[in-house]
Every structure is written in structure tokens, then in C-alpha cells.
Amino acid sequence: METSAVLASAEDQIVDEAVAALDRRDQTHHHASSPEERRRNARHLFEFVVRCVHEGRAEPIIAWSRQIAADRFVAGLDIAELQGAFNVLEEVLWRHVADTLAGDQQIEALGLVSAILGAGKDALARTYLAVASRGGNPLGEQPAPPGGGGEAPTGGALAGTDSPAGAVRTGVLGQVGVITLDDRRKRNAIGAQMADGVVAALGSLRAQDVRVVVLRAAAGMDVWSAGHDMDELPRGRRDPLGYNDPLEGLLRAIRICPAPVVAMVHGTVWGGALDLVLSCDLVIADETASFAITPANLGLPYNTTGLLHFLGRLPINLIKEMFFTAAPLDAQKAKEWLVVNHLVGSGELEAFTLELAATMATKSPMAIAVIKEQLRVLTDYQPIAAQVYERIQGLRREAYDSSDYLEGLNAFAEKRRPIFRGT
Ligand code: KGJ
């Protein structure tokens, strides 16, 4: 059994032990957070450790730790309590690993757990100090300029923080969380850093009891997102959209997030970013929005899970036209085809979206979460025979091992039109 699965199978027991240890510390330390918050943080931290062990990399916990350090600074909360949670969880996990695993697996697991929690704690401390020394702004950046969809929310103060990577920012308005994609240089192309940043932001907002999340691009951007970061696509011989691709992980995180996620779209949406928009629960757009799905421009065989996302949302003739032409669907057509729930004027986009989100935030979060999950399960799962799946994978492999796929990537890098030969 994989180490991550061994840990995950004891989740409740490990979280209970960590919370009990934290409560014992309560007698000697002052805690700013409630017992529920401590339990949520412990569970969340544990989930990140398991994910990192599974993926064999510490980036997800680093991104989350940076985000939560910045959020806590802005909220005026002490960081020591959170560092205590890292220490306590490490002790509990060491005990659990020592009791349940043996030999090389035990040594490997102990090393991984220490390295992952160490990397998270280090990121937590560094970010907190960096934010403190820059007066609350991790990169010392200026806030995004107004314009486009407008940035300042109406009806309250948005407590915002820039992400250390400069690509993802979060804010909270009442019970609505806002995640802002802000990588102007690359037109919000989604690579590992941005995908992990959004996943971490979702986790951090969930830990703050946010009931609805709005996903948007920074004000003033006329590209909502340029899709998968093409610099991070493998150059053949490997599935370009495999299960562990960071964008795929982000799509899953949005789809399983118990809170509704609303895409607020000002500007153009390309490729995998359309999969992201369609993975959100609602889409609100203005007249600048357009939507294109472009693997045919790259010679990229789209993944089966991704096609299912489209099939769950759109009629098949539209899916085919969009995939086969790679042409953008303008805002009006997107409304007619129900790609978007509401098409509103640019000036109203933010207020309209936040108002709708605030309305959903007053409804039963438990009912919403279970209905969202039921709908996901009903639309995501299509049983197919093993032979059929393997035949499709074989066909996809021929496409991503082809010279056409390399031509697509080269043409993009060289800023020219691709010449496809069908080989
Ligand atoms: N990945 C990596 N870098 C990107 C991407 C991307 N997807 N999109 C843009 N960039 C980089 C460009 O290479 C430029 O880098 C910079 O962002 C600004 O782009 O030359 P550099 O400065 O170093 P550009 O083209 O100068 O900006 P605009 O003229 O404003 O045009 C914006 C566009 C979004 C229209 C244009 O950048 C564009 O067409 N980008 C590619 C859009 C696309 O086809 N994306 C789909 C990627 N494919 C998928 O997501 C998937 C999953 N798929 O199956 O196809």
C-alpha cells in the first residue's frame, strides 16, 4: 500500500490526536482560534501532507503555507499557533509511521513527512516575516490598477493580500472569498505555480469558513487566462494532460470544493482555462468575454476527463465546433449556448457577481455542498470498458508522440502559424 494511502486511511485518528495535543497546549498557551478552527487547520494541514507525500513534492504545502501566513498577518493573527500545529502534527505522524510501517517504507515515510512539514514551516515563517517587513504586502507590489471588471468590491472592505508568487491573490468579503489571478506578464497562463496557488487559496478560504468563492482575473486584464502554460507542457513521449498535471489538480479542487465557485469573466478565455471556467459552478461574464478551446491549434490530444467536463455542460455539436475550429465563441453566443449563466455590462460585472455570491452564502451550505457533489458524481462518472479506455489512450499517445504536436509547441514558441502534416 502506498505511504500516502496508509496515512490517509488513518486521517480521523491522526487529526484527533493532533487536536488533543493542541488542546493540551491550550492550558499553557493562549489560543486566538476556536477549537473548531484548530481542528479545521489540523485537518487541512494533514490533507496537504498526504497530497505532498502522494505527489513526492513539497510545492503544494509551500504554496498553502505562504498563503496562510500572508492571510494571518493581514488578519492580525499570531503565526506561532500555526507553527505549533506543524510541530504537533509532525510528532503525531512520526508516532503513526513508526507504529504502522516497517523497513525502508518507514524510513522513507519519516524522511518525507519531516521534509514536507519542514518546507511548509519554513515557507510560513519566511512569508510572515517578509509580509511584516513590507507592511502587509509580500512582494511589495502595488495593488492592481482599477479598470476592466473593476477591483474594489462594493458594500464592504476586501481584505486582500498579494501572493508571494505575484500570481494569485485572495480576499474575503463577508462570507464570500475572492481569488484573483494576477500574472499579467504571461496573461494568466496556468502553470504549476498558479495552479497550486489557487488550490492553496481555496484551502485557505475554506479554513476561513467562506461559503462561496469567486474566481476572477485582476482588474484591467483583457485576457482572463491564456490557458495551460505552454512552457510547462511536456514535449512528447508523456501525456500532456495527465492526472498529475497541476491544472488537472486545480480542476479537481474546484469540482470537489464544497462551496460553490463562481467564475467572473472579463476578457478572453483560452484552452485549459475554458475547462477551468466550465468546472466552476456558475459563470458570470461581461461583453468582453470570449471562450476558445484550442488543442487543435497545438496538435494536442485532449484528455478524456476534460472532454467529460465539456459533455456535462454543453451540447455535443457545439463542443465539436469549438474543438475542431479552435475559434473563440463571443459573449453573446456564449450566452445563447448557456456557456454563461448571466451576461452583464462591464460596469456591473463585479457588483452583480458579488451580490449573487452573497445570496448563495445565506443558503444552507450543507445542502449546497451535497447537491454540488451529487451533480458532480452524476456528470463526471461514465463507465467504460478497460479495453475501450486503453484504445483511447493508445490513440492519444500516437497524437502526443507525433511530429505535429512538436510542431504546435514550436510554432507557439516561435510566434508563427503551425504547419500540420498529420504525422
Ligand atoms: N503559455 C505560456 N505563455 C503564454 C501563454 C500560454 N498559454 N499565452 C501567452 N503567453 C506568453 C506569450 O508567449 C508572451 O510571452 C506573453 O505571454 C504575452 O503574450 O513573448 P513573451 O512576452 O515572453 P502575447 O501573445 O504577446 O499577448 P497578447 O498579444 O495580449 O495575446 C494574448 C493571447 C492570449 C491572445 C495570446 O497570448 C495567445 O494566443 N496565447 C495562447 C492562447 C492559447 O491558445 N491557449 C491555450 C493553451 N492550451 C491549453 O490550455 C490546452 C490545455 N490545450 O489543450 O490546448
**For 387-410, what is each residue's pLDDT tens digit?**
999 999 999 999 999 999 999 999
> Of 266, 299, 302, 405, which one is the catalytic site residue?
302
Q: Are 311 and 319 spatial neighbours (Cβ–Cβ below 8 Å)?
A: yes
Domain ranges within the chain, ordered by starting residue? 3-134, 159-372
Residue 302 known to be catalytic: yes
C-beta of 294 in contact with ligand 1 (< 6 A): yes
Give residue 415 CA to ligand 1 midpoint distance, Å: 10
DSSP state at residue 288: T
Which residues have a Cβ under 8 Å from the Cβ of 394 and sit 6 or more positions away?
A: none
Which residues have a Cβ under 8 Å from the Cβ of 168 and sit 6 or more positions away?
A: 67, 179, 180, 181, 182, 194, 197, 198, 200, 201
> Of 96, 228, 266, 309, which one is the catalytic site residue?
228
Q: What length is written for the chain?
A: 423
Query: Which position has the higher pLDDT, 123 or 150?
Result: 123
C-beta of 207 in contact with ligand 1 (< 6 A): no
What pLDDT digit, counting tens, does each position of 330-349 carry?
Answer: 999 999 999 999 999 999 99
Strand-by-strand arrangement of the 268-270 sheet: 223-225, 268-270, 290-292, 329-330
C-beta of 230 in contact with ligand 1 (< 6 A): yes
Give the per-residue pLDDT at 371. Answer: 98
Give residue 413 CA to ligand 1 midpoint distance, Å: 9
Which residues have a Cβ under 8 Å from the Cβ of 111 and sit 6 or more positions away?
A: none
CA distance 230 to 228: 6
Pocket of ligand 1, candidates 193, 222, 224, 230: which has the most ligand atoms within 8 Å of its Cβ, to mutate?
Answer: 230
C-beta of 295 in contact with ligand 1 (< 6 A): yes
As beta bridge partners, residue 170 has: 161, 179
| Lowest-pLDDT range of 63-77, 169-183, 290-304 | 63-77
What pLDDT digit, counting tens, does each position of 194-214 carry?
Answer: 999 999 999 999 988 899 999
Give the per-residue pLDDT at 217. Answer: 97
Residue 228 known to be catalytic: yes
Residue 272 known to be catalytic: yes
C-beta of 222 in contact with ligand 1 (< 6 A): no
Nearest of 286, 245, 290, 255 to residue 271 by alpha carbon:
290
Residue 159 is placed in which grid cell? 481584505
CATH of domain 3-134: 1.10.490.70
**Could you report how far apart the first and last alpha carbons of the chain are, in Å?**
41
Task: Give the residue-averaged pLDDT of 132-152.
Answer: 40
C-beta of 228 in contact with ligand 1 (< 6 A): yes
CA distance 195 to 405: 23
CATH class of 159-372: alpha beta
Task: Name the helix (H) or strand (E) containing 291.
Answer: strand 290-292
C-beta of 405 in contact with ligand 1 (< 6 A): no
Give residue 55 CA to ligand 1 midpoint distance, Å: 28
Give the per-residue pLDDT at 55. Answer: 87
The C-alpha cell 495535543 sits at 21
CA distance 23 to 39: 10
Give the per-residue pLDDT at 375. Answer: 97
Helical segments of 56-186, H only:
59-74, 80-100, 103-133
- Can you tell me whether residue 163 is helix, strand or coil? coil
Give the per-residue pLDDT at 286. Answer: 98
